[in-house]
Amino acid sequence: MPNNKKKPNIGDKLENLSRKMDNMRIAEYVEMNSNPKRLIFMNFLLGLVRGIGMGIGFTLLTGLIIALLAYILKSWVNLPVIGKLIADLIDIIENYR
């Protein structure tokens, strides 16, 4: 007796997997919207994490820019007062490394 059962090809398998993943996301979305307390908590938590991340990133970026500017100005400026202030600033920065 020949086997007339059609073998699913890779396209059918991918389409089936895609449908299942879409259904999972829809279920997650419906669950999130049906529980407003959880939705508010998740949004608050995500906002808090984003804010902390931006604060840390901005602080590091600003410190790097200030250190680079101090280094560049130290090599460009030969005025006694300004040069001494910049040299002191660079010494302070190097002591904290």
Burial class (CB in 10 A: 0-12, 13-18, 19+), 90: middle
Is 50 contained in some domain?
yes
Per-residue pLDDT of 83-96, as tens digits, reads 788 888 888 988 98
What pLDDT, on a 0 to 100 scale, did the predictor assign at position 78?
61
Is 2 contained in some domain?
no
Is 83 contained in some domain?
yes
Burial class (CB in 10 A: 0-12, 13-18, 19+), 86: buried
What pLDDT, on a 0 to 100 scale, did the predictor assign at position 3?
59
Is 3 contained in some domain?
no
- Residues with pLDDT less than 50, the chain: 1
Domain carrying residue 87:
10-95
Is 51 contained in some domain?
yes
Is 84 contained in some domain?
yes
Is 45 contained in some domain?
yes
What pLDDT, on a 0 to 100 scale, did the predictor assign at position 97?
74
What pLDDT, on a 0 to 100 scale, did the predictor assign at position 55?
97
Looking at the 3D structure of the chain, how many domains does it have?
Answer: 1
What pLDDT, on a 0 to 100 scale, did the predictor assign at position 5?
63
Is 16 contained in some domain?
yes
